[in-house]
Amino acid sequence: MVIVEEQLKSMKQQMIAKGYKSTVQREATMRVLLEHERDHMSAEDVYMRVKERFPEIGLATVYRTLELLTELHLVEKMNFGDGVARFDLRSEGHEHMHHHMICSICGEVEEIQDDWLIELEQRVKREYGFNVSDHRLDFIGTFTSCKHGDCQRHGETA
Amino acid sequence: MVIVEEQLKSMKQQMIAKGYKSTVQREATMRVLLEHERDHMSAEDVYMRVKERFPEIGLATVYRTLELLTELHLVEKMNFGDGVARFDLRSEGHEHMHHHMICSICGEVEEIQDDWLIELEQRVKREYGFNVSDHRLDFIGTFTSCKHGDCQRHGETA
DNA sequence: TTTTAAATTAGAATGATTATAATTTAATAA
DNA sequence: TTATTAAATTATAATCATTCTAATTTAAAA
Ligand SMILES: [Zn+2]
Ligand SMILES: [Zn+2]
Ligand SMILES: [Zn+2]
Ligand SMILES: [Zn+2]
């Protein structure tokens, strides 16, 4: 886990390397994503956070920045079935997307950073002639702690 | 793979068992799903197919039926990132959702019916105290056949 | 056959996301 | 540094998938 400033610098460099401009709005948006790395925020969530420090930013700019970051493979646009897209930072140095555990009691989303699919991807190649470049793996279920009622987020929406 | 009529009967029974009514609109919708088992259709797609045989049906009814089938765990509502929900029949006798291979050249979606995640789910339980009740696994990549240009669906949207 | 809650219909409303046109700005080079 | 220009931003309108609403119809139970 690198410090935010360092990751921000790296993201800006990648943006410039691909011919995109570095703007204060984009920087503010990236900073919010970095500071909420595990939060799976919607565009609206990100917008509200950015607005706290940069009140004149427009919603469309946030949308476009998130789209751009997705295109640059810095961010993954995910849909967990609640009608909004959520934006998830891709971990530096990880070729493939991380996995998720989604609690069906409270909606909490936790991450598994290790790539557990290396072997299965060889199998996909062998058995189906399909060359995997990325993946998405979500586990749906319950944390033992949630089942016992001591769930921090019981009742919240997501 | 059972015959359509048989599966339809089973789905109707499950619907009635849970206290829902069996209607011609619901039957027509289920029939379309069964006849396009591997197609990953949007609600609009399903609506158009149902309309061919039942022109007076309304779009909202199709939406509500798909929602109901999702609730009954007969269908899975999936989002592949193109802005529409797609509805995928859950295979009879399979506790967990099947896996997908999504071709990034042509958008074709193919299914893997075997459950490849049994061991990983034990690991999730062991390492995170998370009890898995279902999962979603998509592989993104290319079929060897697509990479060589003989891709049937090259250029189509999805 | 009557009753009644559930389901359907058509159309309006919602809400997330995208497009538009005018204005501003980052990056390049004189 | 200043001028140039394409790219980015803003505010707002438009789009489009999905959901809601009120009136009407229907499936199932009595
Ligand atoms: Zn994540
Ligand atoms: Zn929980
Ligand atoms: Zn499928
Ligand atoms: Zn293909």
Give the domain ranges of chain B: 1-92, 96-158
Q: For B77-126, how does the pLDDT look when each residue is reduced to its tens digit (9 = 90+)?
A: 999 999 999 999 998 889 999 999 999 888 889 999 999 999 999 999 99
Helix (H) / strand (E) element for B1: namely none
Cβ-proximal residues to A78 (8 Å cutoff; 6+ apart), any chain: A40, A85, A86, A87, A88, A136
- Rounded to a whole number of angstroms, the distance from the CA of B3 to the nearest CA of chain A is 26
- The structure tokens 């979606």 sit at B109
What span, in angstroms and rounded, lies between the C-alpha atoms of B92 and A59? Answer: 44
- Rounded to whole angstroms, the distance from the CA of residue A26 to the C1' of nucleotide D12 is 21
Each residue of B41-70: pLDDT tens digit? Answer: 999 999 999 999 999 999 999 999 999 999
The pTM (predicted TM-score) of the whole model is: 0.89
Residue B34 has pLDDT above 50, yes or no: yes
Length of chain B: 158
Closest CA to A105 of A141, A58, A56, A53: A141
Phi-psi region of A94 (alpha: psi -120 to 50; beta: other; left: phi over 0): beta
Q: What is the pLDDT of residue B155?
A: 45
B91 in the Ramachandran plot: left (φ > 0), alpha (ψ -120 to 50) or beta?
beta
The fold of B1-92 is Arc Repressor Mutant, subunit A (1.10.10)
Residue B23 CA to nucleotide D24 C1', Å?
A: 16
Please name the CATH architecture into which domain B96-158 falls: 2-Layer Sandwich (3.30)
Grouping H, G, I as helix, E, B as strand and the rest as coil, residue B19 is coil
Q: What is the 3-state secondary structure (H, E, C) of B63-84?
A: HHHHHHHHHCCCEEEEECCCCC
Among the partner-chain residues B135, B141, B145, the one whose CB lies closest to the CB of A139 is B135
> Residues B123, A116: contact at Cβ < 8 Å?
yes
Q: Which nucleotide is nearest to B44 (CA to C1')?
A: D17
Would you say B91 and B98 are in contact if contact means Cβ atoms under 8 Å apart?
yes
Task: Name the residue closest to the C1' of C9 by its CA.
Answer: B58
A120/B contact by beta carbon, under 8 A: yes
Instruction: Give the per-residue pLDDT at A64.
Output: 97
Closest CA to A102 of A30, A28, A19, A40: A40
Mean pLDDT of A126-139: 96
Domains A1-92 and A96-158 share a fold: no
Burial B32-69 (b: 16+ CB within 10 A, else e): bbbeeeebbbbbebbbebbbeebeebeeebbbebbebb
pLDDT bin (cut points 50, 70, 90) of residue B22 is: very high
B128/A101 touch (CB, cutoff 8 Å), yes or no: yes
User: Between the CA of B5 and the C1' of C12, what is the distance in angstroms?
Assistant: 38
The tens digit of pLDDT for each residue in A45-99 reads 999 999 999 999 999 999 999 999 999 999 999 999 999 999 999 988 889 999 9
What does A82-137 look like in DSSP terms, one character per residue? SSSEEEEEPPTT-SSPPEEEEETTT--EEEE-S---HHHHHHHHHHH-EEEEEEEE
Sign of the CA dihedral B104, B109, B112, B117?
A: positive
Reported as type and span, the H/E element at residue B138 is strand B130-143
Decide: CB of A17 under 7 A of nucleic strand C: no
Distance A137 CA to ligand 3 centre (A): 15
Q: How far apart are CA B2 and CA B138, in angstroms?
A: 25
**Best CA proximity match to A141, nearest among B71, B125, B79:** B125
Average pLDDT, chain B: 91
Scanning every strand, the nucleotide with its C1' closest to B22's CA turns out to be D27
Q: Say if the Cβ atoms of A141 and B130 lie within 8 Å.
A: yes
The continuous run of DSSP H or E covering A56 comes out as: none
Q: Are B80 and B103 in contact (CB under 8 A)?
A: no
Rounded to the nearest 5°, which phi and psi values hold at B11? -65, -40
